[in-house]
Amino acid sequence: MSESNKFNSRKISSFLPTDTRIFALGGMGEVGKNLYCIEGDDEIIIIDSGLIFPNEELLGVEYVIPDYTYLIKNQEKIKALFITHGHEDHIGGIPYLLRVCNIPDIYGPEFAIALVEKKLEDARLLANTTLHVVKNTTDFRFTSKHFHVAFFHVVHSIPDSYGIAIKTPNGWIMSTGDFKFDLTPVGNNSDYQIISFMGQFGISLLLSDSTNSAVHGFSISEKQVAKSISEIIAKTKGRLIIATFSSNVHRIQQIISGAIAHNRKISIVGRSMENVVQIGRRLGHIHASEDDFVDPELLNTYPTNKICILCTGSQGEPMAALSRMANASHRYIKIIPGDTVIFSSNPIPGNEISVNSIVNSLTRLGANVLTNSLLNNLHTTGHASQEEQKLMLQLVKPKYFMPMHGEYKMLKTHADTAVETGVPEENIFICANGNVVVLRDEEAFLWEHKIPTDDIYIDGNDSSGIATAVLKDRSILADNGLVAAIVAIDSRTNSILCRPNIISRGFVYIKEGQMMLKEGELLIYEALRKKMQQKTTFGELKNTIRETLEPYLYSKTNRQPIVIPVVLNYIDSEFRK
């Protein structure tokens, strides 16, 4: 068997009710919308329920969530949802899941549960489930007929980050969650002893974070970033504006501590940043008094060298606070020459153009812009690099391995890393969403079939999602525009009352395309006149309009606008569609 075929080589055509099935509805082949399920006979437990933010190709889409159809059909089996940490790609989908599916209990770390509670309160869904805070991982145990669940601490860029170990009738499963190994962490350290003990005890299947599988070496410590930011704060003469992820609570704490140490008032700008800081202070993860903060509208009453603005927008999001500052549309804050703007983040792949545009706009307004580079450690990742992934694999020593949380290349690279640490290639499963790994008597196999999965696009407040066809229409509208053909008929006499009228929007300039549109009106008239010589329906008339107009417009312009036929029927002295 060739090397490329050794992964996923252990296959099975069917499974037994006593088998344990492991599958993802989101998080495989992508970075985001994590949702992993473990099923045994009549029970299902879920790990995380996240979303992903759309790229620029998804026009008008606010969020992308997994397809919950399988869970809806099997919701009587669902025992609980377990949360590893409070990032949006792990908790952002919970309100949408609860709208369509019964989840009796949600367990998770304190900070994550606080964020979930706020989401459910805003969505008026708090009564739909019971939230359980897991403070002491040593004492926590969840037990059902088929599963025993335990949490353990890992280091990530948000407080209270957990991995999960699940005992099943067919062997132990471990999910690392998002993790890194930071030997000088801010906050809790990883539970090295528990992870190592579980490895000695025997893990049948390991699911591990693959996000940084292509990054060599070890990631730098969060404390090195804090030191660099503190040095910049000390040297900065004027106003300081720092943009970072609102979910990176450890970074926010370091920035706030640095500002306080250098006698600067902190102004929090951006709704998500405000929510996280409020919850972080309440739970003791962010240490600052009320006097250390100042409202944005009062910034002009303080000297510029006594101000530190902490804001959202490090990824160039159009509506975020920093973007509005860059285009001079922010209500309270205008960029002035001498401002220092720090991007304490790296651009997520796909956001580079947006971030560069913001950097250029800020520089043009006179700001000194600092981004992460080899010269200054302004950001570190919360995900394990290759050597940290190897360490996890060496501590756990899994019999079977299933890389998760990453695009296909990330999963494949992580699989190659696992081979280097001694995991046999045939014991590694590189899965897509919907693939099912079957665990039977501590042996793992890949089911030859898949659970149907898809992306659900959320537009505004519509939690039901929009179809791929809608996005296709939006793309056509953006590229080719719209043409409406309006025809008035009298169904009693089966006649056309007047010449059809074509209206164009976003297709051609009316003056330049006037002759073409007039010819199109004549073509429609002739086609309908022939069609109406026999008995017909409104649907057939609309199809005739499309079939006539679409090829004609394409022959003239090489473009295919959306054609909307409107047929008005004259009955009882009024027109009706």
For 398-424, write each residue's pLDDT tens digit: 999 999 999 999 999 999 999 999 999
Domain 481-576 belongs in CATH node 3.10.20.580: yes
Helix (H) / strand (E) containing 489 = strand 482-490
- Integer Cα distance of 358 and 362 in angstroms: 6
Query: Is 209 marked active-site?
Result: yes
Percent of the chain predicted with pLDDT > 90: 60
- Integer Cα distance of 139 and 413 in angstroms: 36
What is the predicted pLDDT for the residue at 433?
Answer: 96
C-alpha dihedral sign at 319, 321, 322, 325? positive
Q: Which of 67, 182, 191, 209 is catalytic?
A: 209
- Integer Cα distance of 397 and 424 in angstroms: 11
Q: Is the pLDDT of residue 250 over 60?
A: yes
Q: State both tokens at 209.
A: 């974070």
Residue pair 483/564 in contact (Cβ under 8 Å)? The answer is: yes
Domain 3-217+382-466 belongs in CATH node 3.60.15.10: yes
Chain mean pLDDT for the chain:
89
- Integer Cα distance of 224 and 380 in angstroms: 9
SS (H, E, C) 7-69: CCCCEECCCCCCCEEEEEEECECECCCCEEEEEECCEEEEECCCCECCCCCCCCCCEEEECCH
Q: 14-18, 96-100, 174-178, 568-572 — which is least confidently predicted?
A: 568-572
345: CB partners within 8 A, 6+ apart: 243, 244, 245, 248, 314, 315, 372, 378, 379
For 167-182, what is each residue's pLDDT tens digit? 999 999 999 999 999 9
What is the predicted pLDDT for the residue at 2?
Answer: 44
φ and ψ at residue 305, rounded to 5 degrees: -85, 10
Q: Which of 383, 405, 455, 459 is catalytic?
A: 383
For 256-279, what is each residue's pLDDT tens digit? 999 999 999 999 998 889 999 999
Q: 91-105, 134-148, 270-284, 506-520 — which is least confidently predicted?
A: 506-520
Comparing 247 with 42, which gets the higher pLDDT? 42
Q: Is the pLDDT of residue 571 over 70?
A: no
Q: Is the pLDDT of residue 3 over 50?
A: no
Domain with CATH 3.40.50.10710 in the chain: 222-370
1.10.510.10, 3.40.1710.10, 3.40.50.10710, 3.30.70.980: CATH of 222-370: 3.40.50.10710
φ and ψ at residue 100, rounded to 5 degrees: -120, -5
Q: Is the pLDDT of residue 463 over 80?
A: no
What is the predicted pLDDT for the residue at 511?
Answer: 66
Q: Is the pLDDT of residue 475 over 80?
A: no
Q: Which residue has the tokens 């489930």?
A: 129
Helix (H) / strand (E) containing 565 = strand 562-571
- Integer Cα distance of 284 and 276 in angstroms: 12
Residue type, position 252, single letter = I
Domain with CATH 3.10.20.580 in the chain: 481-576
Comparing 140 with 206, which gets the higher pLDDT? 206
For 285-301, what is each residue's pLDDT tens digit? 999 999 999 999 999 89
Query: Is 178 marked active-site?
Result: no
Number of Cβ within 10 Å of residue 233's Cβ equals: 21
What is the predicted pLDDT for the residue at 1?
Answer: 41
What is the predicted pLDDT for the residue at 559?
Answer: 84
Percent of the chain predicted with pLDDT > 70: 93
Q: Which residue has the tokens 């948000």?
A: 158
Q: In what order do the strands lie in the sheet with 63-66?
A: 63-66, 455-459, 462-466
What is the predicted pLDDT for the residue at 575?
Answer: 47
- Integer Cα distance of 555 and 557 in angstroms: 6
For 334-372, what is each residue's pLDDT tens digit? 999 999 999 988 877 667 888 899 999 999 999 999 887
Q: State both tokens at 473.
A: 């229409």
What is the predicted pLDDT for the residue at 377?
Answer: 77
Domain with CATH 3.60.15.10 in the chain: 3-217+382-466
CA distances from 472 to 41, 190, 330, 364, 467 (A): 39, 45, 34, 37, 9
Q: What is the DSSP annotation of 83-144?
A: -----HHHHTTHHHHHHHS---EEEE-HHHHHHHHHHHHHTT-GGGSEEEE---TTT--EE-
Residue pair 431/49 in contact (Cβ under 8 Å)? The answer is: no
What is the predicted pLDDT for the residue at 450?
Answer: 93
Residue type, position 10, single letter = R
